[in-house]
Amino acid sequence: MANALINTIRPGDRVTIVDRFGTQRTGRAVMRSSHGGWVLNMGGKHGTPGIADERNIVSVKVSGGRGARSFGFRKLEQFGGIAKRCEVFATAKPRARRMEYAGSFVSCNDAEDYAKYLRKSGHKARVKRR
């Protein structure tokens, strides 16, 4: 699971890791590290560094409006005024119960593929056709 998470990280994403003391800490991904993980800016006055690798990643929160677009799905925003046909609702965190809006898609096949991707990464997801 963590190996799949590390491959989805991009610069600017918020990454939560467990440090050597067992405390969860969140930082912003800056760049790939030389050993295959990610260098994180953990905040603070001078940007305290942190390292994320497959052993200590807890969660990844995608930055900005990247959402489904980064995985090659055609979201509604890319097509302007075309009427939406399918919407995807998913949990924000893998073990959460409450489903939230995750995106509108022109193609219901793209919506199903995105929901399948979310399910593989541990989220609950469903597609609502319009």
Nearest alpha carbon to residue 57 among 17, 5, 11: 17
Domains in the chain, please, with CATH?
2-61 (2.30.30), 67-129 (no CATH)
Residue-wise pLDDT tens digits, 30-58 = 999 888 889 999 988 888 999 998 888 88
- Per-residue pLDDT, 62: 78
Q: What is the mean pLDDT of the chain?
A: 77
Amino acid (1-letter code) at residue 60: V
Neighbours of 111 (CB within 10 A): 28
At a CB cut-off of 8 Å and minimum separation 6, what does 42 contact?
A: 25, 26, 27, 48, 49, 50
What is the reported pTM?
Answer: 0.49
